[in-house]
Amino acid sequence: MLSAADKLRQLLNQPGLIIMPGCHDAISARLCEQAGFATAFMSGFAVSAARLGLPDTGLISYAELLDQGRNICSAVSIPVWGDADTGFGNAINIKRTVQGYAQAGFACIMLEDQVSPKRCGHTRGKKVVGRDEAAMRIQAAVDARNEGADILIMARTDARATDGLEEAIARAQLFHEIGADINFLEAPESVAEMQAYCDQVGGFKVANLIEHGKTPLLSHQELETMGYKIAVYPLKLLNVSIAAMQASLTALKNGSTPPPVLDFAQLTAAVGFPDYYAAEQRYKID
């Protein structure tokens, strides 16, 4: 049986752009798989919101993200990518984080070069560590992988917002040279910047697409032609979930007609009752 990491390696080596939705809990991950997506991304922003009701400003802990990740990975058979913020400490902490994410069942771990506590890449007030410390973080992660953690490394830089595009491109290329499996330049602000990143950095590259964020929302074909391998939509499910809940609560409070809802059969199917019933019959004692 292939590991989650091996499934992801196979996926990356197939032609075409990988479309990856974000998830924040086990049911959102299951819905991604049921919809036919080949992979999903556990967003730290979305988990912080769903689990704590707090913003993505470094308030969520390693243990909380890891616990959420175990539930998500165990709920699906597709490979899941996991947001690990800055790695939760120095090089030794980062190695432990990588090992923990691999043991939890993640196929890939994302690590970034922000100063801790970090914040969402499309919000204001970001700061990044120096280039040497950023490289050290990714080297520690790569070492953990090479020493036996069965997981891919995605290296993210937020330097575009703090030090400019040239520095961000230099860091992304450095991460690639160190041995990161995937690199991710966060929040380029124009099509020209996106193209410069793709032209100047090797390896598999990620486009992070957030509605009304800093990065242009291009079509899948445009992204693939540009040179991206992965298009991630980390907040789409959280976004539409909040909108649906707000609309339903308003309707309920006002006594008006609520938005469309699943019928009960659809709801029970989504959360896995048919599989449970089948297992119940298998082990039934007459």
Range of the domain at 107: 4-244
Single pTM value for the model: 0.93
What pLDDT is stored for residue 112 in this prediction? 96
Tell whether 263 is covered by a domain. no
Tokens at 85, concatenated: 């913020």
Please, are residues 102 and 149 in contact by the beta-carbon 8 Å criterion?
Answer: yes
Distance CA 199, CA 196 (A): 5
**What's the structural domain count of the chain?**
1
Task: Specify the CATH number for the domain of residue 18.
Answer: 3.20.20.60
Distance CA 179, CA 50 (A): 33
Tell whether 75 is covered by a domain. yes
Max CA distance (Å), the chain: 71
DSSP secondary structure of 125-139: ---B--HHHHHHHHH
Tell whether 150 is covered by a domain. yes
Nearest Cα neighbor of 77 from 42, 109, 34 is 34
Tell whether 284 is covered by a domain. no
Tell whether 176 is covered by a domain. yes
Strand 182-185 relative to strand 230-233, pairing: unpaired
Residue 112 DSSP label: E
Residue 228 DSSP label: -
Tell whether 256 is covered by a domain. no
What pLDDT is stored for residue 121 in this prediction? 66
Q: Does residue 81 sit in helix, strand or coil?
A: strand
Q: Which residue has the tokens 């938005």?
A: 259
Q: How many CB atoms lie within 10 A of CB 225?
A: 13
Distance CA 220, CA 230 (A): 10
pLDDT profile of the chain (286 residues), mean per 10: 96 97 97 98 96 92 97 98 95 97 98 88 83 97 97 97 96 98 95 97 96 91 97 96 94 88 90 90 86
Tell whether 251 is covered by a domain. no
What pLDDT is stored for residue 284 in this prediction? 87
What pLDDT is stored for residue 259 in this prediction? 81
Distance CA 135, CA 120 (A): 21
Tell whether 137 is covered by a domain. yes
Q: Which residue has the tokens 């709801």?
A: 267
Distance CA 190, CA 49 (A): 28
DSSP secondary structure of 183-203: EEE----SHHHHHHHHHH--S
What pLDDT is stored for residue 64 in this prediction? 97
Nearest Cα neighbor of 141 from 178, 185, 186 is 178
Residue 242 DSSP label: H
